[in-house]
Structure 1
């Protein structure tokens, strides 16, 4: 009996002694082991995200429904909030500061409403992206899934909210004499490009917010500055008449201004091509591709660090 036990111990110890000189990487390679939560290759990561597309859509819809679940008016606030903002900005900038100079009243009100709704789309996507990881650590630590699913779902939530709000935007446009025509179809590519841009931005700031949660406290100040620099309440070209041309170009070519102006151009009859910067569609596509792909890759590179520490 003792001999058999002794021989069994030798048999068991032999493979262990063979592995004693292996490095951790060599040991893992020999037995087909992999690091838990390791970052997959970019192509594989995209494939995993596509496999979670139903989760992304369901999660975004659930967030949209629950957003105002405690309010008596419920989902009406999706439209009421930007409309109230538009009213406040019209009283201050339209009536008191005359920010709509150079535009008729029937043009300025749709101009203002569209600017607020479209800019709010970017603002809310970015604000939600900053908290996408840091605000969902329980989910991140409990389940294994591509972390990009979270900021993408939040951007999808904001897109769904904007689509509901566009009913009001269309109603305002019609109320001021802008009737549906072929140009209205340009809203579709403009908002699609803006969604790609917003998603890339949300992904980039989700990584930054995961590392520095205090960034969420700074974002309202950044967004307010961006809003004032993007011509939400005024025409950039009219407001900066007599200023150096490069200042006007920089402000008009910033992505928030570009996507707002494309929607205004599509829906407001008297807001013609002269109000747009040159090569506006090239810049719209360029911003979407650069920020969309860049933000995604930037987020993916830190995949294995989310939820740790």
Structure 2
């Protein structure tokens, strides 16, 4: 009986590479993948022109349907200040004994509105631009930052009006006005961090934007916008006075009042006001940035 040759050995077929292995071999990354923290900052800086352009477009479109157009950017803060003066200064008499009460009130309203509006628009920045977030790949932090820049542009217009109000009321132009720009820079950094943090919360909890206005309104009442808080809280417990003195809204409002109004003396400022302003700006900006970045991959997937 003839002996049959042994069958040839067939080498095993290597398994086909997975999609993940192919992507890694060709340098592909998932869409929306979170970049390292430093790399994310570099990407965000590269979108700085987009941030400014988006903020400017939003500000331009805000009153485009109104007959007076962009004039409302000036009229709105003035009308708000007039209403607050009628209620608090005239009817409730909170301005009695406060020198230069109209400049005092207008400065408080304009400066706090910057923080209030940045917080509100930042909290809605991702949900209001959900289509943009889902369609394009870009650092999502651009949106809350653009919202803050838009409110900064509004404030700069308001400050021009405020300067006219101060001079018309007899407040002199002094060298202390040079303190306004650094105070505004610190407040802007604080507002950027606040907007970033609230943007992440607002993206996860859709009802948050409905609750936030009540929180901000309460914050406004304890920030000395309509009255001299140092006179009212003079007999409060030490812990309450300490909490009021470290309130960031009060700190930035007080700095701008001290810079622009000569009758606001240094002893009416919260203790250690400049170091506290710097600490709040640094902590809010860094913590808000890291807090927002940590959920970069989740935005737009809901």
Please tell me the TM-score bracket, short chain as reference.
over 0.9
Give 2:212's match in structure 1, choosing from 216, 219, 222. Answer: 219
Structure 1 CA distance for aligned equivalents of residues 128 and 191 of structure 2: 19
1:79 Cα offset (Å): 1.8
- Map 1:42-121; keep pairs closer than 5 Å: 42-104=37-99, 107-121=100-114
Q: Does the CA-based 8 Å contact 2:174-2:262 persist in structure 1?
A: no
Equivalent residue number for residue 197 of structure 1:
190
Per-residue displacement from partner, 1:92-144 (whole Å, max 9, x unpaired)? 1112211123313xx11100000000000001100000111011000001111
**Contact 1:102–1:238, Cα closer than 8 Å, also in 2:** no
Residues 135-182 of structure 1: CA distance to partner in whole angstroms, max 9, x if unpaired? 100000111100000000110111111111111111111122222221
- Using the alignment, how far apart are the partners of 1:31 and 1:139 within structure 2? 28
C-alpha distance after superposition, 1:227-257 (max 9, x if no partner):
0010000111111232223322311321111
Q: Could you say what the CA RMSD is over the residues aligned between the two structures, in angstroms?
A: 1.9
Which piece of structure 1 moves more, 168-177 or 186-195? 168-177
Aligned counterpart in structure 2 of residue 166 of structure 1, from 159, 163, 166: 159
TM-score, with normalisation over the residues of structure 2?
0.92
Q: 1:39, CA displacement in angstroms?
A: 0.1
Instruction: Verify: 1:287 aligned to 2:252, yes or no.
Output: no
Measured after TM superposition, the shift of residue 30 of structure 1 is 4.5
Which consecutive residues of structure 2, in runs of 5 or more, have no partner in the other structure? Answer: 1-9
Alpha-carbon separation, structure 2, partners of 1:182 and 1:267: 9
Distance 2:74 2:24 in 1: 56
- Of residues 68-77 and 31-40 in structure 1, the stretch that sits farther from structure 2 once superposed is 31-40
Q: Once the 2 structures are TM-superposed, how far is the Cα of residue 29 of structure 1 from its aligned partner?
A: 3.9
Matched residue SS, 1:40: coil
2:235 match: secondary structure:
coil
Q: Is the contact between residue 236 and residue 248 of structure 1 (CA under 8 Å) also seen in structure 2?
A: no
Deviations 1:214-236 (A, max 9, x none): 11111110111000010000111
**CA distance, structure 2, for counterparts of residue 18 and residue 207 of structure 1:** 40
Match of 1:38 among 26, 33, 38: 33
